[in-house]
Amino acid sequence: MIRRLVVVAVAVAVAVTGLVPVAAAQEGPDAPGGFSDVTGGVHQPAIDALDVLGVFEGTGCGQDMFCPGGAITRWTMAVWLVRVLDEAEPTAVDASSFADVDFERWWLAHVERLAELEVTKGCLTEPLRFCPDRSVTRSQMATFLARAFGLEAADSAGFTDTEGNAHETNIDALAAARITAGCQTDPPRYCPDRPVTRSQMATFLARALGLVDKPAPPEDEPPADEPPEDEPPEDEPPGDDADSSDPADGTGTDTPAGVDPSACRPGGVKGVTAGFPLPGWAAPPVGTLRVAVLFLDFPDAQATYSTEVEAAHGLPYAEEYLEAASYGRIDVEFVPLHGWLRAPRSVDDYLVDTIIGETRVSPGTEAVRLADPMFDFTGHHVVMTVLPSSLFAAGGHTSAGAQTAEGIIVSMARINTAPHPDRGGPEQWGTTAAHELAHGLGLLDLYAYNARRHRLPPEPTARTWVRSQFGLMELRAAFAARPRDSRLKFTGSLPDGPRVTGYAYSLYAGEMLAWSRWQLGWLEESQIHCINAPEATVALGPVADPGDATAMAAVPLSDTEVLVIESRRKIGYDREQERLHPEGALIEVPALATEGVLVYTVDASLGSGELPIKVAGDPGNGRVDDYPILARSDRVVVRGYTITVTRDDGDTHTVTITKTGTDNDGGAKAASTSPSWRLKEHHGLEIATTTNAR
């Protein structure tokens, strides 16, 4: 029998007092007693109240970490709901009813109990699946709570965005019970397709149990110092955008942007991933990201300038890039400990061979150990260790963690780790810092760790190889072009007046991929058009600044693969890049050879360095027939779908996606290999000046 909601708050509170802290096989050492990343905000009372009851045991994301901005997964929802409904741990089970829940999972019993209570019916049938790692949307949450607490049907709550939604009745019931007040008041909206964050779910659950105050009825004016909505105030944004409803849970209807977006959200590998969800240890991609910055040098590799100078060569760019890429959803807060920390041993003692075949400096937790007596690591999500950029380049990331006096910090970014001849002064490393922090958010590398996979053959007759790269995580493709291809041209003026003309043979379009932004919750659900029809037409806004337009079209190809389409304009980090030419000219080098539509495939079953994302036409060797941006009237065939750019009005690109029934992809054929290529320090430009003219 489903437990029914007790309307009188006092009665609910009395009933819940029987729930005691529970023990479970933990996936994170998060025993009750407070979380280092919950230090105030509208959701803290609910989190604290449920934490005391042991509801969160085993479902945290690290040492004393709650990850309040992370999206709650279905398996975590099952654990929390069963514990508050039964006031105890469920009886162990010896088999799983769901094809996608392994028997070894400690939370299997919670999932089975939730199904027994008729709170869940699974996410898919034939075979029956639970989709444990999918995030829970606000509409799904309404159905879970309505079933769990037996909420009575109610009149329409008046939300402008729930009409026709499969969960509409339960959303109205949730509003009538004053468990939700919606996500916006003018006009009243519920945001049904927005994922529920862990902190928001704690508040919803605590309201249902009467452990915290409920929102004021609609006719009452909320206090001026309290947020009138479910979502957190400005310093605690609403969280990730995640998939929509699941068919077996009665949620199989289409969203305004296309079919159920969950069909375009494949489950990914553990750790950093190209799929969903992001790893539990990852730093929150929404809200404030606090990064402790430590500076380390060595007895035989000492910096000759201050850490303030070093910081200026990377931190401002990394902060600006990530905040712009997130459309303001993340607030990066760097907290530097200025002054060079001196490692006790020489550089050679810290050298290690890496998975990409390069030797790097790996100081481990040396900087943390040296800084710990003088630095408070409380509330920090990432530790970034910076070596002198005059002597080192590139970077790395690990989730091995470091113990501090205030607890364990899992995410460790390392900047400038490849030994380099002394350059006499600091170099720019902002893109490297942003890249490594993106690893800390859960994103993986898109380039091949095995460099032989992308080795280029000798240049074809009258052609030169052009190396192009898209996005922060380095999606790469090379194509052969005429040496004086006008798309690659740049011009500038020398200090004494003459003009210089040249051609850029390495292009870096820095705007983050739409897919990565969706993973991080930086795109609204309404900006994703998931297609499951023989033909569709989509108008795409530029990924750099889509506004309210659709930012990404996607076609599910299999359980793990998705075809993705996005628009790229010469704006934002895709605009021309200002560079100083070796001869002294200030030049603007193209980031994009042309504006248009980028098409690529995602295979979420592949890990970092295994090419989980490839541009259309790339057979796996990193080569395509031409620059992989489609202009108006261009088309490409990928896995039986033809993508054609039918219109370009200067603001949006309109594309048609047609299922053609053929699996012959357009693109380059495999060829013999020769020495590998790699853009300097992730994102450097290789510029060839071919003519000088006055």
Place of tokens 């989509």: 538
CA distances from 678 to 75, 347, 622, 683 (A): 41, 25, 12, 9
Give the torsion sign (CA, 343, 344, 346, 352).
negative
pLDDT band at 340 (very low <50, low <70, confident <90, very high): very high
Please say if the pLDDT value at position 14 is more than 70.
Answer: no
Please say if the pLDDT value at position 48 is more than 60.
Answer: yes
Tokens of 582: 């070796």
Please say if the pLDDT value at position 248 is more than 90.
Answer: no
Q: 125: how many CB neighbours lie within 10 A of its CB? A: 10
Residues 14-27, mean pLDDT to the nearest whole number: 38
Instruction: Report the candidate in 300, 302, 283, 464 with the shortest Cα–Cα distance to residue 390.
Output: 302
In sequence order, which residues have a C-beta less than 8 Å from that of residue 3 and are 6 or more positions away? 85, 117, 148, 149, 150
The length of the chain in residues reads 694
- Alpha-carbon distance of 416 to 75, in angstroms, equals 39
pLDDT band at 663 (very low <50, low <70, confident <90, very high): low
Residues 326-353, mean pLDDT to the nearest whole number: 95
Please say if the pLDDT value at position 205 is more than 50.
Answer: yes
Please say if the pLDDT value at position 203 is more than 70.
Answer: yes
| More confident: 677 or 314 | 314
Please say if the pLDDT value at position 578 is more than 50.
Answer: yes
Please say if the pLDDT value at position 683 is more than 50.
Answer: no
Between 132-141, 172-181, 493-502, 680-689, the lowest mean confidence (pLDDT) is in 680-689
Query: Collapsing DSSP states into helix, strand and coil, what is residue 2?
Result: coil
Please tell me the predicted confidence (pLDDT) of residue 404: 93
Please tell me the predicted confidence (pLDDT) of residue 247: 40
Strand-pair category, 552-556 with 687-693: unpaired
Chain-centre distance for alpha carbon 426: 30
Q: How high is the mean pLDDT of the chain? A: 83
Please say if the pLDDT value at position 656 is more than 70.
Answer: yes
Please say if the pLDDT value at position 378 is more than 80.
Answer: yes
Tokens of 551: 């930012």
Residues 124-133, mean pLDDT to the nearest whole number: 80
428: exposed, middle or buried (Cβ count in 10 Å: 0-12, 13-18, 19+) = middle
Please say if the pLDDT value at position 242 is more than 70.
Answer: no
| More confident: 250 or 151 | 151
DSSP state of 594: S
Q: What is the pTM of this model?
A: 0.66
The secondary structure element, H or E, covering residue 111 is helix 108-116
Please tell me the predicted confidence (pLDDT) of residue 691: 39
| More confident: 561 or 61 | 561
CA distances from 453 to 468, 473, 618, 622, 686 (A): 16, 17, 12, 7, 21
Please say if the pLDDT value at position 198 is more than 60.
Answer: yes
Residues 42-62, mean pLDDT to the nearest whole number: 89
- Alpha-carbon distance of 251 to 167, in angstroms, equals 7
Please tell me the predicted confidence (pLDDT) of residue 135: 77
The secondary structure element, H or E, covering residue 690 is strand 687-693
Tokens of 178: 């004053």
Residues 21-35, mean pLDDT to the nearest whole number: 43
Please say if the pLDDT value at position 694 is more than 50.
Answer: no
Please say if the pLDDT value at position 274 is more than 60.
Answer: yes
Tokens of 644: 């054609």
Between 142-151, 178-187, 227-236, 657-666, the lowest mean confidence (pLDDT) is in 227-236
Cα dihedral: 177, 182, 188, 191 (round 10): -130
Residues 112-137, mean pLDDT to the nearest whole number: 86
Please tell me the predicted confidence (pLDDT) of residue 25: 33
Of all residues in the chain, what percent carry a pLDDT higher than 70? 84
Please say if the pLDDT value at position 306 is more than 90.
Answer: yes
- Alpha-carbon distance of 265 to 256, in angstroms, equals 17
Please tell me the predicted confidence (pLDDT) of residue 13: 36
The secondary structure element, H or E, covering residue 47 is helix 44-52
In sequence order, which residues have a C-beta less than 8 Å from that of residue 597 and are 6 or more positions away? 540, 565, 566, 567, 568, 629, 630, 634, 643, 645, 653, 655
Please tell me the predicted confidence (pLDDT) of residue 424: 86
Tokens of 300: 């035989």
Please say if the pLDDT value at position 551 is more than 60.
Answer: yes
Of all residues in the chain, what percent carry a pLDDT higher than 90? 60
pLDDT band at 348 (very low <50, low <70, confident <90, very high): very high
639: exposed, middle or buried (Cβ count in 10 Å: 0-12, 13-18, 19+) = middle
Residue pair 515/472 in contact by the 8 Å Cβ criterion: no
- Alpha-carbon distance of 520 to 175, in angstroms, equals 28
DSSP state of 324: H
Please tell me the predicted confidence (pLDDT) of residue 662: 57
Q: What is the DSSP string of 429-485?
A: -HHHHHHHHHHHHT----S-SSGGGG---PPPTT-EEEEEEETTTTEEEEEEE-TT-
Phi, psi of 199 (to 5 degrees): -70, -40
- Alpha-carbon distance of 588 to 576, in angstroms, equals 6
pLDDT band at 272 (very low <50, low <70, confident <90, very high): very high
pLDDT band at 541 (very low <50, low <70, confident <90, very high): very high
Please say if the pLDDT value at position 178 is more than 90.
Answer: yes
Please say if the pLDDT value at position 328 is more than 90.
Answer: yes
- Alpha-carbon distance of 621 to 608, in angstroms, equals 16
Give the torsion sign (CA, 477, 480, 485, 490).
positive
Between 214-218, 299-303, 347-351, 456-460, the lowest mean confidence (pLDDT) is in 214-218
The secondary structure element, H or E, covering residue 398 is strand 392-398
How do residues 640-651 score in pLDDT, each as one tens digit?
999 999 999 999
| Residue-wise burial string across 561-572, b where 16 or more C-beta atoms lie within 10 A, e elsewhere | bbbbbbbbbeeb
| More confident: 529 or 694 | 529
- Alpha-carbon distance of 108 to 79, in angstroms, equals 9
